[in-house]
Amino acid sequence: MLILSNDWLSIIGRGEQTAVDMYLFVIDFEATCYEKNPPPRFFSEIIEVGGVIVNPQTREVINEYQTFVKPVLFPKLSLFCTALTSITQEQVNQGIPFAQAVQELRTFSTKYPSIFCSWGHYDRKQLKRQCNNFQVSYPFSAKHINLKEAHSQFYNVRRMGMKGALLYHGLSITGTHHRGIDDARNIAKITQKMLAEGWNWKDSEQSY
């Protein structure tokens, strides 16, 4: 499922005019969770995928991807999970299977050759863990950029959460925090700021 907001369409149109060898695929996952006392053998499953493609040369957003994913091991969302993410039971019930979401990510990253970027290691670890558990092939290469770490090193500041980094740069928060697509958009804004101020993304890529 591809969502393009009207505010971003003009940016996307300009961005595709300049092709690059590698794009930055900024991704944020939301997953099932409990505040405390999860069920026995609880396994957290991705329930939303949000992704934004950034051209590192022009710093423009090229495209974005969003979908809800239907959990199957523990299909009922906790009240805490819904309160935290604003994602409803109805939305995940109508979501696509995890394997399909992974395939769509693979297709998207093939259309836009890119490196997987996220704010911290959680998203990379969650995707790998769930791919292993569901016996689904991991959709990306071994390379990954931890943008939280890159931000800390580039500006020589402590590691901070996404909201803290936005405030640090005087950037407004877009949408709802802990929604995959909104968090991906916000992280993309921080990424654009870093690129504009001289950050070389190649210095931050790591293999896992």
Q: Is 151 a catalytic residue?
A: no
Q: State both tokens at 37.
A: 């006392």
How far is it, in rounded angstroms, from Cα 199 to Cα 150? 9
Q: Check residue 34 and give left, alpha or beta (phi > 0: left; psi -120 to 50: alpha).
A: beta
- Which entry of 16, 30, 48, 149 is annotated as an active-site residue? 30
Q: What is the CA radius of gyration of the chain?
A: 17
Q: Is 197 a catalytic residue?
A: no
- Which entry of 121, 169, 177, 178 is annotated as an active-site residue? 178
Bridge partners, residue 7, by sequence: none
Q: Check residue 50 and give left, alpha or beta (phi > 0: left; psi -120 to 50: alpha).
A: beta
Active site members: 30, 178
